[in-house]
Structures are given as C-alpha cells and as structure tokens.
Chains A and B, each alone.
Chain A
C-alpha cells in the first residue's frame, strides 16, 4: 500500500526565514494531496489541498508544490513568523482504496523570534 515519508521531523528557523517540508509517496495512482497544521493542544486543520497534476498553489505566506514525476509534495513557508510554529502533516489519498488517507509522520516547526 501507499507509504508516505515526511522530512525533516524537526525544523527550527529564524523569523523571516523560509522553511521547507517535503513528503514523498509511493503510489503513482494517488490523486489527492493535503497539508494540515496542528497547533499546540489542538486538532489538525487543513492548510491546502492539491489535486492530480503538477501545480503550484499559493496560500497566505506559503507555497505548495506537487511534482507527480518525482512523487513529491512540498510545503514552503516563504517568511516564517512565530505564529507558524506548529506540527505540519502531509496526507495522501490512496488511489485504489477509497475513504483512506495516509498521513506523514509530521514535522515540528519552531520559528524563533
């Protein structure tokens, strides 16, 4: 079945610096891709979802890139601020098994003021 590797597990950056989190997946039929953010003491909240194409999606202060050729999904925070400190999870839907999403192991991001 699908396997999702997420790196790095921990990341510390200074305020204003960029931060990049990368996920690789194995199932070439995977179709839906998600980034979730988990703030301390809270559940996960959706940051962005992307679909089955090579694309760049931009949100507020971040960019998501999907590269299907390399089976890689990345989250780039362009100018991190302390409010970005959280655990970030990528998630990938299995192409052959409906109603099942595989999560990466998470990245603890710490933005230093």
Chain B
C-alpha cells in the first residue's frame, strides 16, 4: 500500500511566522505535489517536483517555497506566513506525472492556522 505521511497534523502560527510542512512518501514515486484545499476552491496546486533537487511552480505559488531534499522528502516553506495562507494542505505523490493517468496518493493533510 502506497504511503504518504505528513507532519505536523495541525499547526498554529502568527502572522509573519516561519512554518515548514513536511511530507515523506515510501512509494518510490518520482513525483510529489503540494496542494491547498479551501472551501469554494477545491484543491489547488502550489508546487511540485519530479525528483530530488527539482522544483516546479504550480498554480498558486505566491508566498510559498518548496524543497525536495530526497526522493522521499518534500517540504513546503512559508517564511512570512499570512492569514490568507490558513488552509488545509495536502501532499501527494505519483509514479509519473499526474497527467499520465497515474493515481495520486495523498497524505492525511496538515491544517494550518495563521492568526
């Protein structure tokens, strides 16, 4: 069974705070993704990567950085958090790119609140 693990599960920070969300996959997948989920918007892609050291910009990248340190680990960084970044964040992985009919495997999410 494919496994994607996110941490922390919940995070509260203040405006201007520095936050790192972590994701690890044990699927040996090449592609990893960061999405945010907001009511009325569904899932929106922030950043994605097709391998260690690679980073691609998604649809809503402003205010976010990401880093793929290994094939397993993908991090999302909010260096100056703002209330507009309060959201539910999902990490996902896939064996090839998501447009080649490969299934996306999602973590359980991190709920971030920026006060």
Chain B residue nearest in CB terms to A49: B101
Give chain B residues whose Cβ lies under 8 Å from the Cβ of A45. Answer: 106
Given that A41-B108, A43-B106, A98-B99 are contacting pairs, would A105 and B40 also be in contact in the complex, using a CB cutoff of 8 Å? yes
Main secondary structure of the interface of B (DSSP, over half): mixed
Contact B101 A51 (CB under 8 A): yes
Contact A32 B101 (CB under 8 A): yes
Of B42, B92, B97, B108, most buried by chain A (CB within 10 Å of CB) is B42
Given that A89-B42, A89-B43 are contacting pairs, would A43 and B109 also be in contact in the complex, using a CB cutoff of 8 Å? yes
Give chain B residues whose Cβ lies under 8 Å from the Cβ of A94. Answer: 99
By size class, the interface of chain A is 20 to 34
Whether B104 sits at the interface, judged by CB under 8 Å, is yes
Q: Which of A20-78 contact B (CB under 8 A)?
A: 31-32, 34, 36, 41-46, 49, 51
A50 vs B45: C-alpha distance in the bound complex, in angstroms?
A: 22
Contact A32 B109 (CB under 8 A): no
Chain B residue nearest in CB terms to A97: B99
A6 vs B92: C-alpha distance in the bound complex, in angstroms?
A: 22
Give chain A residues whose Cβ lies under 8 Å from the Cβ of B56. Answer: 99
Type the 1/0 row for A69-113, where 1 means its CB is closer than 8 Å to any CB of B. 000000000000000000001010110011111011110000000
Whether B100 sits at the interface, judged by CB under 8 Å, is yes
Give chain A residues whose Cβ lies under 8 Å from the Cβ of B103. Answer: 34, 46, 49
Contact A98 B104 (CB under 8 A): no
A97 vs B57: C-alpha distance in the bound complex, in angstroms?
A: 13
Contact A32 B99 (CB under 8 A): yes
Given that A44-B106, A45-B106, A46-B104 are contacting pairs, would A103 and B98 also be in contact in the complex, using a CB cutoff of 8 Å? no
20 A-B residue pairings within 8 Å (CB atoms): A31-B99, A31-B101, A32-B100, A34-B103, A41-B108, A41-B109, A42-B109, A43-B90, A43-B106, A43-B107, A44-B43, A44-B106, A45-B106, A49-B101, A93-B100, A94-B99, A98-B99, A99-B97, A99-B98, A100-B99
